[in-house]
Amino acid sequence: MQLIDQVQVQNRINSLIGQELYVHLEMTTGAYASHLDSSKHPAATFISNALIQYSQGSIAGNGPFRVGLKTLNGWIYSEGLTHWENNDAERLIMAGHDTQGKLVVALQLSREPF
Amino acid sequence: MQQHILVILPHPDDEAFGLAGTMAKYLKNGDKVTYACLTLGEMGRNMGVPPFANRVTLPEIRKKELEESCQAIGVTDLRMLGFHDKTIEFEDQDHLDSVILSLIEELSPSLVITFYPGYSVHPDHDACGEAVVRTIGRLPEEQRPIVHAMAFSKNTIQVLGEPDIHHDVRAFLGQKMASIQAHRSQFQAAELLGNKTLDDKEIQDRFGTERFWTYRFD
């Protein structure tokens, strides 16, 4: 994973407009959050391989970044994205990692199921 | 007498800190060890520092790490059972139990090692342990293997008391540290040792004993 290049990610978002895509969207504080610190609320959620299509989308912010995708019937929104996989030409793989390198949030788009 | 030990855990790396030395010790004694790992840890949060894995590549990377860990410990019979991380408690119980039962029927282990249900923090750990004791509990009493369970929730000792099984694995810290190191996407092994060696008293105290609770079916 590399630090997000906003221009390149925007280009990739543009290239996927209007196509049927599989999305993986996830956010997690980790299964051990409250075990390690009882003041923390453990929360995690993911949806994998939901089929979506978006008509417009952009990446915003100065890093960590936000991505918003306007879908046929609503929105996909993700905040806290720091990294992307620039070697993956087919899929758009983005994630947000905290200062310890742990994944907090992920947004992934692909023409094929994950 | 040679015995067959069946280890059933949900994630690659669940063996590293609590069980690697014990497995190495059993193998040294001439026992057989089968390690059945339910998932590939697909939903892990650690991607390496700096991140070299991502959500998509993580399962394949962790599969290789698990194989390397087993090699370090000496385990030659590794079964990857193909369940998905975070979903064990939601799986079809009959299916999960039948997979576990078929392993027990195939291997006739005298000892099964897993997580203690209810005291193992991660929902997958608890659900894995629960499936194991549920399946074994259905066997006639005289056919049940002994179950040793790992536990680390904060209330463990308060409720279950002190662990009754203590394995001195100081002689196997080499294998154990190599197992931890194998899971390089998950652990920063170098930070654990710092500038200390495996003979160091602090390291031996910290990693040299592995503890288990014998699960009581009654």
Provide the ipTM: 0.83
Q: How many angstroms separate the CA of residue A80 from the nearest CA in chain B?
A: 15
Domain containing B65: what range? 4-214
Tell me the residue ranges of DSSP E strands in B10-85.
Answer: 32-37, 77-80
Tokens 């193909």 label which residue?
B82
Q: How confident is the model over A34-91, as pLDDT tens digits? A: 788 888 888 999 999 999 999 999 999 998 999 999 999 999 999 999 999 999 989 9
Distance from CA of A34 to the nearest CA of B (A): 9
Of B144, B137, B140, give the one whose Cα is nearest residue B111. Answer: B144
The shares of helix, strand and coil residues in chain A, as percent rounded to the nearest 5, are 10, 50, 40
> What is the reported pLDDT for B124?
97
Class of domain A2-32+42-110: mainly beta
Which CA distances in Å does A106 have to A15, B7, B53, B175?
19, 32, 13, 35
pLDDT at B191: 86
Domain ranges across chain A: 2-32+42-110
Local structure of residue B110 (DSSP, 8 states): S
- Split at pLDDT 50, 70, 90, the class of A27 is very high
Kindly indicate the confidence band of residue B193, based on its pLDDT and cuts at 50, 70 and 90: confident
What residue of B is the nearest CA neighbor of A28? Answer: B45
Picking from A29-43, B146-160, B175-189, which range would have the lowest pLDDT averaged per residue?
A: A29-43
Residue B144, domain CATH: 3.40.50.10320
The helix/strand/coil state of A95 is strand
pTM of the model: 0.92
Position B81 scores a pLDDT of 98
Number of domains within chain B: 1
Q: Backbone dihedral region of B139: left (phi > 0), alpha (psi from -120 to 50 degrees) or beta?
A: beta
Nearest to B113 by CA among B181, B182, B205, B211: B211
> Mean pLDDT over residues B61-84, rounded?
98
Chain A contact probe: residue of B11, B55, B122, B188 with most A CBs at under 10 A: B55
Q: In this model, does residue A33 exceed pLDDT 80?
A: no
For chain B, give me the number of helices (H) and strands (E)? Answer: 8, 7
